A and B are shown apart, each in its own frame.
Chain A
Amino acid sequence: MSRRSFAIAAILALLSPLLASCWDKAEINELALVSMVGLDRNPDNGLLTVWMQIINPASGTAAQKSPGGEQAPVYTYKVSAKSSAETQLLIYKLMPRKMFVHHAKAILMSERTVKRGIRDILNFTELMPDARSSVPLLIADGPLEEVMRTFTPLERNPAESIESRLKLLYEYALLSGRRIEMRDVIERSARRDIAVIPMIAPTPRTGNPNSWQVNAEIDANLNQLEVGGGAVIRDYRMVGRLSDGELVLYNLLNGARGRFVRLVPFRDGHLSVSMNSRGAKKKLEWRNGKPFVRARIRVDISTIAMSEYHPQTMDEIRELERLVERHLAEELTAFLDKTRGKGWDLLRVRSLLRRKAPKLEDLDRAADEAEIGVEIEARITGMGNLSRLYEGTGGER
């Protein structure tokens, strides 16, 4: 071999490291796509339990159609250890694929865990470069073990089912907010501000049904999960709960834009008023050296759900608008009084003071002392398909 061909061969051999392609390649069929995560810290023995719901890649439509092809849409893996870091490694005792958390759609935590404080868990997830904090955080009202082992009908993947319900609850019921993700809890807690996140509970069970059984059962209330209520979080800790009715008021105060229905006392009964929130504005004013927060909320009213009464003249329209304004303002004021009594600053007055009066010395005291004025601007903008209601006897009252 001539010296020249030897040199060429050597150069080619030296170039071979460049042919190693991508070191960090991740084939999709080598990944375990996490769709939902559950976390629980047992206060007695300090053990952290992590549940991972992994999407079953073979549970597509094609697999369902083949005979005996009904497979679980997700598999739940569970692992316990003293620390978050250990659980991440120990999971490979069970899981044959590399964990991929970037696609997670919901994170669930048990109530007892959040009541003790979740700062360390949040720190851990923020440390992980591959974890995403822009995922809804929900609190399990009931044993998390059960929640993580529950299939959902109609939308077969539980995480997608929850995600979709949170969206619908926001748009059509104002029972969920825009700031319910893990990053919001982190940000709000870091600012010593309040966050409210949704809660989830298992519904009555008949044994331990698998996905096929859940989807074969006509009663969709059985064996599944129900979203409802709100958990109040302050300083990385759950400090209390809001009922569904209070959750609507909280979301309304914080500028959520969605539809909701409120019963408004009218004459000797009630009107069911369908409303569409158009956002809230908070303004800071000073009265006698004390802060005064003016919360203005705009709502559009539609007579679309009002089967009890239909305004016909301008006077009646105005009367109804004023009535809704008064009633909603009263409800909100009572709600704020009650929650401020518990020390929850749900209007987030402290945050407003911090932004608008940064030189204030004692923010907490000023926020406590602040007076709040709620103003509602209600306008009838829409109506249903009737211009006049059917009259006569046979009504409910």
Chain B
Amino acid sequence: MISRGQYYLLTVNFTLGTTLFVTINGMIEEAGPDAWMMPLWAGAYGMLAALLWIALLRSSPGKSPVEIAREAWGPAGAIVGVLFLIFFCLIASWTLRNLSDFMNVTIMPKTPPSIFHIMFLLVAGYAVAQGSETVGRLNAVVTPFLAFPFWASLALATAFWDWERLQPAFQDPWAIIRFPSLLGFPFMETFALTMLWPRVKSGTAGALLLGLASAALSISVVVFMVIGLIGPERAARINYPIYTVVQEVELGQVLVNIHSVLTVTLITLIFIKLMVLLYAAFETIGQLFRPASRWPHLLAFTILISASSLTIYENPIQNGILAAAHTFIYDSLHTLLIPVLLLITLKVRRALGGRSRRS
């Protein structure tokens, strides 16, 4: 069992995960100086989606969505389980590939991407094999080491702050409508956290909602700072604006390389996201097929996910195209449509069951 606080931190770090890498320049490209408002709208939407999941999970306490699907639809529910399994694996591959793209572009151009994929999967697999407590505690232990250097290195950059870059303000606060993929990624992807739900002691709903709100606020602050520090023109074009912000910081003559600190923070955040996704996929396998032995699946996941990370897209340009075209629909199918249908089925069956019992 993990505590409410650990679940909260997992939610925050999971949501920040790859978001800080890949979406910032997209947001700023869409909304210019007002981009910092987009994560707030998207976060509010994410909390609404989370309310739906909470309703679903509360209707059958102690069960994960995969088990609820079997309860609601019987054997056909297993199909939902398989869909969720593919969903978690795909997001995990996508996350890993975003990571290796980042590393290849910024500091390690010659390292083969598969090395990043396999190494991360092996470590995450080991953590997942130890169970939910390890996942929760590991994240709780590393969080201070992530949050402090991250905000400290951004704070050091504020010497170059210019308010002019944030003007004209409030010209396009509703740009979120033109950027729906932000709703899917990262906010609807947090559905993976519901697989941990039955393992949390109490107060899970509050932790999840608060976690989403904190993450949305953090992303908003980061976007705000990125705009104020390098301006919407450059930030919209540069692939990894946070990295550039910190890269341009020079502390006297000595500290000119603090972006490596930021890199470590960002890849650890991604690791946490990967770990939760792997846990979700692993639990799904466990609940669907009830296998006798557990660890061989983690090796299988390592092979599967490291392979699909290589093939999920050809190049970072296609990544953007794919995300814009499919994320929202794909995520909505898994995290809105299926939960709504499950919830309706459960309500209807219970209503019918109650009536037949009464008569």
Contacts and interface: CB of A to CB of B under 8 A. Distances in A.
Contact of B240 (A382, A385, A388): A385
B104 A386 contact: no
B318 A314 contact: yes
Name the prevailing secondary structure of the A interface residues.
loop
Contacts of A23: none
A311 B318 CA distance: 10
Contacts of B316: 382-383, 387
Nearest to A311: B317
Contact of B314 (A304, A380, A388): A380
A317 interface: yes
A385 B315 contact: no
A379 B244 contact: no
Given A387-B25, A388-B29, A380 B237 contact: no
B237 A317 contact: no
Contacts of B320: 387
Interface in B229-255: 233, 236-240, 244
A382 B239 contact: no
Nearest to A380: B315
Given A385-B105, A388-B29, A380 B317 contact: yes
B315 A390 contact: no
A303 interface: yes
A383 B102 CA distance: 10
Nearest to A379: B314
Contacts of B25: 387
A384 B238 CA distance: 9
Interface in B276-322: 314-318, 320-321
A363 B32 CA distance: 67
Nearest to B236: A388
A382 B315 contact: yes
Given A386-B238, A386-B239, A388-B29, A317 B318 contact: yes
Nearest to A313: B321
A228 to B, nearest CB: 25
B252 to A, nearest CB: 26
A317 B317 contact: yes
A390 B321 CA distance: 20
Nearest to B322: A314
A385 B244 CA distance: 9
Contacts of A317: 314-315, 317-318
Interface of A: 303-304, 310-314, 317, 379-390
Nearest to A303: B317
Contacts of A303: 317
A312 B25 CA distance: 14
A167 B244 CA distance: 31
Interface string B13-31: 0000000000001100100
Contacts of B104: 382
B105 A383 contact: yes
Interface of B: 25-26, 29, 104-106, 233, 236-240, 244, 314-318, 320-321
21 contacts: A313-B321, A314-B321, A317-B317, A317-B318, A380-B317, A381-B314, A382-B316, A383-B316, A383-B317, A384-B239, A385-B105, A385-B106, A385-B239, A386-B237, A386-B239, A387-B25, A387-B237, A387-B238, A387-B316, A387-B317, A389-B237
Identify the 5 closest CB pairs spanning chains A and B, nearest first: A380-B315, A388-B237, A386-B237, A383-B316, A385-B239
A243 B243 CA distance: 41
A310 B26 CA distance: 16
A390 B237 contact: yes
Contacts of A383: 105, 239, 315-317
A387 B239 contact: yes
A310 B238 CA distance: 13
B45 to A, nearest CB: 24
A173 to B, nearest CB: 15
Contacts of A386: 237-239
A317 B319 CA distance: 12
Nearest to A387: B239
A380 B320 CA distance: 14
B296 to A, nearest CB: 32
B317 A312 contact: yes
Contacts of B314: 317, 379-381
Nearest to A385: B239
A382 B100 CA distance: 11
A388 B239 CA distance: 9
Please indicate which of the listed interface residues A311, A312, A314 has the most CB atoms of chain B within 10 Å of its own CB. A314
A387 B323 CA distance: 14
Contacts of B238: 385-387
Nearest to A304: B105
Given A388-B236, A390-B237, 12 more contacts: A311-B317, A313-B321, A317-B317, A379-B314, A382-B104, A383-B239, A384-B239, A385-B240, A386-B238, A387-B29, A387-B238, A387-B320
Contacts of A314: 318, 321
Nearest to A317: B317
A374 B202 CA distance: 66
A277 to B, nearest CB: 14
Contact of B315 (A313, A381, A389): A381
A312 B320 CA distance: 9
Contacts of B29: 387-388
Nearest to A386: B237
Nearest to B26: A387
B244 to A, nearest CB: 7
Contacts of A384: 105, 239
Contacts of B26: 387
B291 to A, nearest CB: 37
Nearest to A302: B315
Contacts of A390: 233, 237
A243 to B, nearest CB: 28
Contacts of B315: 317, 379-383
A233 to B, nearest CB: 31
